[in-house]
Amino acid sequence: MKKITVEVNGKKIQKEIEDNTILSTFLRDHLNLTGTHVGCDTSQCGACVVHVDGKSLKSCTAFAIDLDGSKITTIEGLVTNGKMHPMQEAFKKMHGLQCGFCTPGMVMSAINLLQNNKNPSEQEIRDWLEGNICRCTGYQNIVAAVKEAATKM
């Protein structure tokens, strides 16, 4: 067991964890932040994408202990003063979700895209979302939602 200190969604957190604790387990089971989903658990599907120090990563493929001192943002951290993030609003408006399982990862990944590229083309959006799989195959509206969000962010 080792103690780590991280900032999760703006809140400083100290926890004792086993060395082999995976970040997605830490978020879901230790902090009860179940908005981060675990789909394939083998870093292919992207449902578990979160931001660490401003960059997106797959939380099923990172050790929590190795992120000691980092700032982590999960889907739960996007709402400010009860208002959804523009990317969440855009997913709602453009019907960018069906069953909703992949959505937290899609939203986190898409926000990271717009942080790097304010006005991406359709191809750039599709290339960026390479690591996020939607089993409902709702990609048309997901892409439309990211485009919509780009006009608001």
Partner 1 sequence: MKNFNYHCAKDSKEASKLSSTNSAFLAGGMTTIPSMKLGLATYKDIIDIKRIKKLAGIKVASKSVIIGSITTHSEVANSKEIKKKIPSLASLAEGIGDPQVRNRGTIGGSIANNDPSADYPSACIALDAIIHTNERKIESSKFFKGMFETALKKGELIEAVEFKIPEKSSYQKYPNPASRYAVVGVYVAKHKSGVNVAITGAKSCVYNDKDLSKVLSSSFSSTALEGMTLNSSDMNSDIHASAEFRASLIVTHAKKAVEAC
- Interatomic CA distance for residues 72 and 81, integer angstroms: 19
Q: What backbone torsions phi and psi does residue 49 show, to the nearest 5 degrees?
A: -65, 130
H helices present in the chain, as ranges: 23-25, 86-93, 103-116, 122-128, 139-152
Q: Does 66 bind partner 1 (CB under 8 A)?
A: yes
Among 38, 58, 91, 144, binds partner 1 (CB under 8 A): 58
Q: Does 122 bind partner 1 (CB under 8 A)?
A: no
Q: Does 72 bind partner 1 (CB under 8 A)?
A: no
Q: Does 124 bind partner 1 (CB under 8 A)?
A: no
Q: Does 88 bind partner 1 (CB under 8 A)?
A: no
Do the beta carbons of residue 35 and residue 74 sit within 8 Å?
yes
- Interatomic CA distance for residues 149 and 109, integer angstroms: 13
- Interatomic CA distance for residues 19 and 149, integer angstroms: 38
What is the DSSP-derived secondary structure letter of residue 36? S
Site string for partner 1, 5-44 (x = CB under 8 A): -------------xxx-x------------------xxxx
Q: Does 139 bind partner 1 (CB under 8 A)?
A: no
Among 33, 47, 57, 72, binds partner 1 (CB under 8 A): 57
Q: What backbone torsions phi and psi does residue 41 show, to the nearest 5 degrees?
A: 60, 20
Query: Which among 86-94, 96-104, 109-117, 118-126 is the span making contact with partner 1, rule CB under 8 A?
Result: 109-117
By the criterion CB under 8 A, which residues form the site for partner 1? 2, 18-20, 22, 41-44, 46, 49, 55-58, 61-63, 65-66, 68, 109, 112-113, 128, 130-132
